[in-house]
């Protein structure tokens, strides 16, 4: 499958809008800021931040980019499902349990957090599907 040499910011924004809408969280606002990660969902504000670091997405960054967007979208889905305050509390409760050594075999409140594990699994399971969709749409 041939992928364009780079993906423009316009196309990237279209892809994100499509993903958010598809999963029923089309009301999430999208903003841009400088950061290392491709994206970050800020639960308190209901804002999906996109990195300004990447002016364009190169083919070798595509997988990571799509996984990150879908991962962050999953947090938005959880926030909608539970209400953002409850979701934040649940997330923090899990992180604390892990960091206090109450969960066997888990030590990292972030990476071992079940909400993070689920979000990452969701990203890993769905990025190829979206790659096909966006390729068909001519966005990449």
Q: Smallest distance, Å, CB 75 to Zn ion? A: 6
In the bound complex, what is the minimum distance in angstroms from residue 117's beta carbon to Zn ion? 9
* Closest to 65 in 3D by CA, of 21, 127, 10, 3: 127
Q: State which residue, 116 or 140, has the beta carbon closest to Zn ion.
A: 116
Name the nearest CA neighbour of 3 among 72, 65, 51. 65
Closest to Zn ion by CB, 78 vs 130, is 78
Q: Which is nearer to Zn ion, 6 or 64 (CB)?
A: 64
Q: Give whichever of 94 and 116 is closer to Zn ion, judged by the CB atom.
A: 116
**Residue 42 φ/ψ region, left for φ over 0, alpha for ψ in the -120 to 50 degree band, beta for the rest:** beta
Interacting residue ranges for Zn ion, rule: CB under 5 A: 116, 119
Question: On the CB side of 99, how many CA atoms lie within 13 Å of its CA?
Answer: 10
CB of 138 to Zn ion, least distance (A): 30
Reference 78, options 119, 44, 45, 37; nearest CA is 119
Provide, rounded to whole angstroms, the least separation between the CB of residue 39 and Zn ion: 10
Task: For residue 26, give the DSSP letter.
Answer: T
């Amino acid at each position: 499958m041939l992928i364009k040499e780079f993906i423009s910011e316009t196309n990237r924004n279209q892809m994100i809008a499509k993903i958010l809408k598809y999963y029923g969280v089309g009301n999430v606002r999208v903003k841009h800021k400088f950061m290392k990660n491709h994206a970050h969902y800020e639960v308190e504000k209901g804002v999906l931040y996109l990195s300004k670091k990447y002016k364009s997405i190169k083919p070798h960054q595509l997988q990571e980019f799509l996984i990150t967007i879908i991962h962050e979208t999953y947090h938005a889905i959880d926030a909608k499902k539970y209400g953002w305050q409850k979701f934040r509390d649940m997330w923090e409760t899990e992180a604390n349990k892990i960091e206090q050594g109450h969960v066997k075999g888990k030590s990292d409140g972030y990476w071992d957090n079940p909400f993070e594990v689920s979000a990452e699994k969701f990203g890993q399971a769905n990025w190829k599907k979206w790659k096909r969709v966006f390729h068909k749409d001519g966005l990449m």
